[in-house]
Chain A
Amino acid sequence: MKQAFRRAFTLSLPVMAGYLSLGIAYGILMEDYGYNFIWSGLVSLFVYGGSIQFVALNFLKGGFSLLTIAIMTLLVNSRHIFYGLSLFNAYRPMGKKKPYMIYALSDETFSLLCSYKDQPGLDNNACMFFICLIDHFWWTLGGVLGGLVGSLITFDTTGLDFAMTALFVVIFTEQWLEAKTHIPAIVGILSAIVCLNVFGSDNFLLPTLIVAVCILFLAKTPISVKLREEEGK
């Protein structure tokens, strides 16, 4: 158990870096909107969704109905449906741990779990559970710290939210370096750019994912061939 925790801690170190800097950025921005560290800490603990928390800052300016907010949240987070599909089989043997591990399936936890490699002689299911728990902890701690720091020092935070973009670019780069085929990544980029221009910047996320999935099905033969070639090496 101890070993599983230690491995989970090591694996989640990059997420700690990202989550502390992003979480602190979030806490500071919340502070700018007049919400102290208790708010940012609790929101980070219970909502636990990086991008939607940043999007939600706009809601705090007022003028949004709860229905609009619900639809926006479902759209922004619709990608989580695809995370669940990707980890569906990996989550099967999780037993009592499963509900929490579904609840805590953030972008970064997903990226760690979908690249998780079993280690012999280790309780790997416990290790994956600890990854969820530790990531969740870092994100919440970041929110609290950001709120506290934000109330102590005041400096121009314009552009601090770029930390989120930077984190996604880092994960994208990591996946690119390790990918057996670049077709899925390229499909994602092109679908997103086309849909951004067709549907506009507010509504393109869901159409993009649907278009991308359709193309992935159409390109099933070349992708499967590539995957098999790489596995044969």
Chain B
Amino acid sequence: MILSASQSFLIFLVIALCTIFTRFLPFIIFGNRDLPLPLQYLGPILPATIMAVLVVYCLKSTAFSAPALWVPQLVSVAVVVLLHLWKRQTMLSIIGGTACYMFLVQVVFA
């Protein structure tokens, strides 16, 4: 631990409160009223957009200047997708992809 226990506690407290705030915000703003029509349109389609953004977010440090900066994550993502299309078992896809990534960064591109 670099920080003291009380410093760490404060950091986690701030993170917890901010997280709670973002989760409650729409319910605070709109309460028991109906959502405005434009937001009703977004509701069903937004999840797919958000997950796509999150995937790119996880891969944000990818760069193409050297193989070590893109091969491990892109190959492992491909492994996850292929495993999932094949067996459609979340556990298998996650463990398989993560094992592949760990092998690539620890052994192949060490």
Q: Which residues of A contact B (CB under 8 A)?
A: 14-15, 17-18, 21-22, 33-35, 39, 42-43, 46-49, 51-53, 56, 59-62, 64, 66, 69-70, 73-74, 77-89, 91-92, 98, 102-103, 105, 107, 110-111, 114, 156, 158-160, 162-176, 179, 181-189, 191-193, 196, 201, 204-205, 208-209, 212-213, 216-217, 220, 223-224, 227
Q: Which residues of B contact A64 (CB under 8 A)?
A: 11
**Is A179 in contact with B48, judged by CB distance below 8 angstroms?**
yes
In the bound complex, how far is the Cα of B60 from the Cα of A158, in angstroms?
Answer: 18
Interface check B64, CB cutoff 8 A = no
A-B contact pairs, 13 of them (CB 8 A): A42-B12, A73-B19, A82-B50, A89-B40, A159-B105, A162-B73, A162-B101, A165-B97, A166-B94, A179-B48, A183-B45, A188-B56, A216-B46
Q: How many residues of B contact A (CB 8 A)?
A: 67
Q: With contacts A191-B53, A217-B41 known, what are 10 further pairs, Cβ within 8 A?
A: A83-B47, A84-B26, A85-B35, A85-B39, A89-B43, A110-B47, A159-B98, A170-B84, A170-B93, A187-B52
Q: Which residues of A contact B24 (CB under 8 A)?
A: 84, 102-103
